[in-house]
Amino acid sequence: MLHKNRLFTPGPTPLLPAAQTAMASFTAHHRTADFRALFQRVLTDMKDFIGTKNDVLVLACSGTGVMEASVSNLASPGDKVLVLTAGKFGERWTGLAKAFGCNVDVLSSPYGTTFALNDIRAKLTPDVRAVFVQATESSTGARHDIRGISKIIREQSNALLIVDAITGLGTTHLDVDGWGVDVIIGGSQKALMIPPGLAYCAVSERAWKRMDDTTSPRYYFDLRKERKSAAKGESSYTPATSLFAALGAALEFIREMGKGDLAKGREVLIDNAELCAEMTRAGAQALGLKLYATSPAAALTAICSPDGIDSGKIVKEFRESFDAVVANGQGEMKGQLFRIAHIGYYDYLDTIGILGALEHVLARVTGKTVAYGAALRAAQEVYARGLSSHPQLVEA
């Protein structure tokens, strides 16, 4: 059969055609009025996409670049910092903070789970200068309770809260300013529907003040310097100009989803991910599969491989039979689970398609009879119920 190559991975994600066209035709030099206008419009729109009034910076790097910037700009060697980790991306925070000489305290929760808020309370001694966490842990599919975590921090400490929301933004409702998140981080290859290469963050005034006392070395990733340049409509070094053009088109698309209101479009995009995720969970469970995460995120669904089957076989079968790219487990989780993302430019038909394919993949790798239509039926029921409770999704 004919196969269309499709990405179901938690980054990179499917590309928005309008964004691809915008970047293919973009030629402006970055020190021109035209580019400055685009740059400034994108930075302003990004505030609505994130849902913040704080200053936003967009840098040419992968998501990890801005994770590193948040460590080097906010923590000095010897500073006590707390990392909350329950997966490979949480472990990245530990590695980064150690690389910059921080005194790292780690609260870890087993893969697939999230943190008990009381354990965070106990770890949050007055000397903790910063707390690092993910909004959604893309390696396990878990959603962490950022509202609950920020409430504890704001109540009992002066620590800054830095949230890697690289798959959380655009898939998860996050009240960044209301909850007091100091730095929130995203990446272009996730819900923004454009290729990898840009990462961004919104930074609170408390965090900007902290940067003046930080002694860690930084040069390219000096956020204070970028903030000064951004105020003039520029970046300090050559920006990824064509990716900015793509980003501008993606933000317009999200604004149209909100009928001219970008913040509303963001909410619709998030509800879309929530509904696709709920359909996927119901479909997988209807086939007798178990979910890996106890508090599943809308960004992606991590599904346990059936007993005795390496999940690599499932990933391979998706690719060979349908040219569908789903993700295996990372690190120690390799072989145990597979991950289907619902991030960004991803819709009802993608969801139904991957669940239909899952029924065949499962039949082939297990050699057992699968009740065809079981996953689809469960997903259809979720969709019908979801539309009645989310009328904005019908109109969008």
Ligand X SMILES: *Cc1c(COP(=O)(O)O)cnc(C)c1O
**Nearer residue to ligand X within complex by CB, 157 or 167:** 167
Query: Within 10 A of 285 (CB to CB), how many other CB atoms are there?
Result: 15
**Nearer residue to ligand X within complex by CB, 61 or 355:** 61
CB-based closest residue to ligand X: 63
Whole-angstrom distance between the N-terminal and C-terminal Cα of the chain? 33
Residue of 270, 268, 247 lying closest to 258 (CA atoms): 268
State the nearest-atom distance from the C-beta of 128 to ligand X, in Å. Answer: 22
In the chain, the amino acid numbered 248 is G
Are 210 and 70 contacting, i.e. CB atoms less than 8 angstroms apart? no
Query: Within 10 A of 205 (CB to CB), how many other CB atoms are there?
Result: 10
Residue 94 touches ligand X, criterion: CB under 6 A? no
State the nearest-atom distance from the C-beta of 92 to ligand X, in Å. Answer: 7
Q: Which stretch binds ligand X (CB under 6 A): 105-113, 164-172, 264-272, 345-353?
A: 164-172
Residue 204 touches ligand X, criterion: CB under 6 A? no
Q: Segment 74-93, which members bind ligand X (CB under 6 A)?
A: 89
**Nearer residue to ligand X within complex by CB, 62 or 336:** 62
Return the beta strands (E) in 117-189 as ranges: 130-134, 136-137, 142-143, 160-164, 183-187
Residue of 72, 109, 268, 62 lying closest to 183 (CA atoms): 72
Residue of 299, 312, 396 lying closest to 343 (CA atoms): 299
Residue 167 touches ligand X, criterion: CB under 6 A? yes
**Nearer residue to ligand X within complex by CB, 136 or 351:** 136
- The tokens for 77 are 């060697």
**C-alpha torsion sign, points 203, 205, 207, 210:** positive
State the nearest-atom distance from the C-beta of 65 to ligand X, in Å. Answer: 7
Q: Which stretch binds ligand X (CB under 6 A): 61-69, 123-131, 281-289, 382-390?
A: 61-69
Q: Which stretch binds ligand X (CB under 6 A): 98-106, 151-159, 160-168, 252-260?
A: 160-168
State the nearest-atom distance from the C-beta of 148 to ligand X, in Å. Answer: 19
In the chain, the amino acid numbered 86 is A
Would you call the peptide bond into 12 cis, given omega within 30 degrees of 0 as the criterion?
yes
The count of residues interacting with ligand X (CB under 6 A) is 12
Residue 166 touches ligand X, criterion: CB under 6 A? yes
* Backbone angles phi and psi of 226, in degrees to 5: -65, -35
Degrees to nearest 5, angle at CA 341 with 273 and 364: 130
Q: Segment 97-116, which members bind ligand X (CB under 6 A)?
A: none
Q: Segment 7-26, which members bind ligand X (CB under 6 A)?
A: 10-11
The residue within the footprint of ligand X, chosen from 50, 59, 63, 81 (CB under 6 A), is 63
Residue 330 touches ligand X, criterion: CB under 6 A? no
Question: 3-state class of 102 per DSSP?
Answer: coil
State the nearest-atom distance from the C-beta of 38 to ligand X, in Å. Answer: 23
The residue within the footprint of ligand X, chosen from 187, 258, 344, 386 (CB under 6 A), is 187
* Residues of the shown chain interacting with ligand X in the complex, contacts defined by CB under 6 A: 10-11, 62-64, 89, 134, 138, 164, 166-167, 187
